């Protein structure tokens, strides 16, 4: 299997606190995102914290999606890491951003497992998206 992977690391601001504090909704959104990314789901693990906040991971054959939410700050930290040429991780990012109703998104895209001068490294690019109440149609990040 190809060692290269694309890892999207997102900070989502202005999320709907009711959505990102709802275990069932967050689980459903992340699972649907994995399906939209064309990933094969191996396991789904979600946990609700007291008094608030959700942590969850969707383990996929092609790596993982993870989320950690702080409803009291309308903030969520998201990771989408996929390997292989058949996955569409940007679709997962777009779906989660829209479903959480995030207003601003800060993204670092890491190209992982880049073999260079005898060792593995990663390369990165960054982007800010200020979407407000709009829906994102296409994230358009370099990967």
Residues 34, 83, 97, 141: which binds a copy of itself (CB under 8 A)? 83
63 is catalytic: yes
User: What is the strand order of the sheet 5-13 is part of?
Assistant: 41-48, 54-60, 63-70, 75-83, 5-13, 104-116, 119-130
Window contacting a copy of itself (CB under 8 A); options: 16-24, 84-92, 100-108, 134-142: 100-108
Could you give the 3-state DSSP secondary structure of residue 28? helix
User: Does the footprint of a copy of itself cover residue 3 (CB under 8 A)?
Assistant: yes
The helix (H) or strand (E) run that includes residue 91 is: helix 89-100
Residue written as token pair 């997962």: 92
Residues 31-60 interacting with a copy of itself (rule: CB under 8 A):
42-43, 45, 47, 49, 53, 55-57, 59
Among 36, 68, 127, 131, binds a copy of itself (CB under 8 A): 68
């Amino acid at each position: 299997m190809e060692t290269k992977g694309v890892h999207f690391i997102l900070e989502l601001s202005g999320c709907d606190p009711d959505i990102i504090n709802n275990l069932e909704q967050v689980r459903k959104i992340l699972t649907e995102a994995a399906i939209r990314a064309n990933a094969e789901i191996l396991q789904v693990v979600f946990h609700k914290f007291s008094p608030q906040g959700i942590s969850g991971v969707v383990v996929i054959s092609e790596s993982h999606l993870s989320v950690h939410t702080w409803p009291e700050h309308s903030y969520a930290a998201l990771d989408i890491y996929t390997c292989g040429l058949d996955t569409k991780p940007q679709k997962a990012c777009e779906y989660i951003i829209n479903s959480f109703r995030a207003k601003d998104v800060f993204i670092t895209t890491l190209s992982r497992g880049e073999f260079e001068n005898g060792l593995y490294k990663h390369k990165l690019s960054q982007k800010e998206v200020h979407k407000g109440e709009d829906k994102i149609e296409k994230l358009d990040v370099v990967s």
